[in-house]
Chains A and B, each alone.
Chain A
Amino acid sequence: MTAARSVEHAEHFESLERQAHAARLGMWVFLATEVLLFGAAFALFLTYQVQFSHAFRAGVAHNTKVLGSVNTAVLLLSSTLVACAVHALRRGDAKLAARLVGGTIALGLTFLVIKGIEYGKHFDEGIYPGGVGHYFTLHPIRGLAAFWTLYFGMTALHALHVTIGAGVLGVLLHAIVRGRLGRETAYRLEVGAIYWHLVDVIWIFLWPLFYLA
């Protein structure tokens, strides 16, 4: 590979290819731990769902379904953009890659704004985590507080991941613009993109649990 020789690899790696493989494997191992973190939360959700299915259906029926669904589309589109960005950078089109990464970050921020609007609506209705708020005195259904507490906890944990992902992509965007990331080092953007996709995958499961079924 002539392209790989033009960029220096770290001393302890045989080649840039090996270095890229190690970087990707490291990210996958990290993602496996993330899956376990969210997995515990999903297990908790399903446990309460089985116990209080009536309350959970009432919670879902009351949730901001349209905003949540728009947010799903926003994240799916952002994943598509960052996947295109990786391909563009691999072909050496840094300018287009930078635009696509910029678009991904913008969509991530859009997601956070919509999430904030949703939280605002819930607070206006008197729905707070821990079963606090006048909504729960008006609707004394056993398990309803558990639904909304899990909703706030899991979506806030996810929003934190969106924020971190947008930050990571921001650093990568800066590197592309400065010319420090190019065709040979596209694997770095790839690693950041993989993290972004995982954030998308987690939301793919949060959406039906809290908004649809």
Chain B
Amino acid sequence: MSQANARANVSRVVDDGSVFMGEQRNLWQDAARRFRRNWLAVGGLLVVICFLFLAAIGPASAPYDFLEQNIVKAFQGPSAEHFLGTDDLGRDVFSRMLHGARTAALVAFSTTAISLVIGVLVGAWSGIRGGLADEFLMWISDLIQAMPGLLLVILINTTLRRPIVNWFDALYEQTRNPFYLNTLWLDYVLVFSALALIGWPGLARLVRGQVLSINEEDYVLAARALGASEAHIMLRHVIPNAMGPLIVAVTAGMGGAIFLEAGLSFLGIGIQPPNASWGSMLEEGRRYWQIFPHLMLIPAVTIGLVQVAFVFLGDGLNDALDPRRNS
């Protein structure tokens, strides 16, 4: 890390125009150069960008309503009219896939955002305070990390849905506020929170480790001697230094969230019909796989492609952003 800072400082001097010693790059330009050389990672990045683009514009530009049923046209293969064919209820598979992309992207962003906030706060608190609070928080995060995450998420999703729906029903009875009537989006909230719950401990450990290691550095001692506050040290020194590993962890977390959401919906526990999710589409398609394999293959290939893209992207970022691995 110190080497990286030295490099960053050198380039800052260059930016001032006061010293110029050949071509100098800062940490990020260096990382970008290393990243570009890894074509698998670049491919992964392209797929992820495509996926996010489709998730953003998809549902609005979909040729059909993803819920529109037309039983007469059920089980059609790909055609000009229905780009990827139709499913068992005659719904347009392409429109449903686009909507599933929205679901996956929503899950990825919300889950990562929630676990990032919790992880950074807990990790910083643990690292700065130390002592009993640190012991306790790290014990909890150890437990969550040691548990089979899937089991935990399944448990949370199946047990918490009913009381929340009942609670909303009761609130509707009392207030007659139509807001409480629609409980479809509750699936999303439940999946987000369950996934965030198993996502934060890794980030917290990361931030805590950064806080502890950077607190050892002389420049932090100097900053402290000059009267810098803990918040200043956090924002000015710890967070910028932790940026690389955090980006890698967040990318991996997004891929993991999409994987878990698809898995949960595949088991019939996550996003419930009629909402569209790639996992539940895969499960629905599996019922007819020997006669209409395209219904199973389309979501399967899509989930696989996006997952592999995230894995390659994460790996490429990991190599590019680790300055100690300078080649």
Please determine whether chains A and B interact with each other in the same assembly.
Answer: no
